[in-house]
Amino acid sequence: MLSVHIEKQLTHFLLDVQFDIGKEIAVLYGPSGSGKTTILHTIAGLVKPQSGFIKLRDRILFQDKTFNVPVPKRNIGYVFQQYALFPHMTVWENIQYGMKSESLARNMMKELHIDHLLHQYPHEISGGERQRTALIRALATEPDLLLLDEPFSALDDETKEISYEQLITLHEKWEIPIILVTHNQYDVEKLANKILSIEAGKIFNQKEIKQIQTN
């Protein structure tokens, strides 16, 4: 469903990656500074590659220097590392941003147990609750692809375990490609259908895993 082949000159190396992802959770795994977040940014349209192509389903999103779909028209959900919630908006106002279906958004809030936080502001809720708010905000746009940048890094161990199970459940329900960026081996073990190991802008190993590990 997603095909990526991009090149982008960064400060210390050339980012040059190629991969394909189906309806699975693919983990971009590698050390900090290896190009993982830049890959997400190029797919989302926040950064323009110098060459290559990005195709999602049957849509070309980027083609060399001739074609580049703007961010709002890519239909991609993105959960940033620090969640990027609007601090002056309530939980519900954050989720409404880009929302396509109110009933869907409210159902997800109930499923992820934050429906009681409608009128709270981001600074008034926990890290796990902020993470779930950001996830619902991204999914409420009904995206064709979900990008997650270190979404568990600020969570305690107990909240992480809950978040893993929630993400797996949502993925089984939505059946869309998910790309998760992490440098945490445990995230990989819990969630990955496919592992894309990256270092210094190059994917040096791609490994398929048949089933999501839930134990």
Q: How far apart are CA 73 and CA 100, in angstroms?
A: 14
Question: How high is the pLDDT of residue 213?
Answer: 44
* Cα–Cα nearest to 206, from 215, 193, 191: 193
Q: For residue 160, what are the contacts with CB-CB under 8 A and spacing of at least 6?
A: 152
Q: How far apart are CA 90 and CA 93, in angstroms?
A: 5
* Cα–Cα nearest to 111, from 83, 77, 136, 144: 136
Question: How high is the pLDDT of residue 6?
Answer: 97
Phi, psi of 43 (to 5 degrees): -65, -40
DSSP 73-119: GS-EEEE-TT----TTS-HHHHHHTT-S-HHHHHHHHHHTT-GGGTT
Q: For residue 24, what are the contacts with CB-CB under 8 A and spacing of at least 6?
A: 177, 178, 193, 194
Question: How high is the pLDDT of residue 129?
Answer: 94
Domain segments of the chain: what residues? 85-143
**How many Cα atoms sit within 13 Å of 95 on the Cβ side?**
28
Question: How high is the pLDDT of residue 170?
Answer: 87
Question: How high is the pLDDT of residue 215?
Answer: 40
pTM (two decimals): 0.90
Cα–Cα distances in angstroms (integers) from residue 94 to residues 13, 98, 120, in the given order = 37, 9, 11
Residue ranges of the chain whose pLDDT lies below 50: 212-215
Q: Which residue has the tokens 């809030």?
A: 109
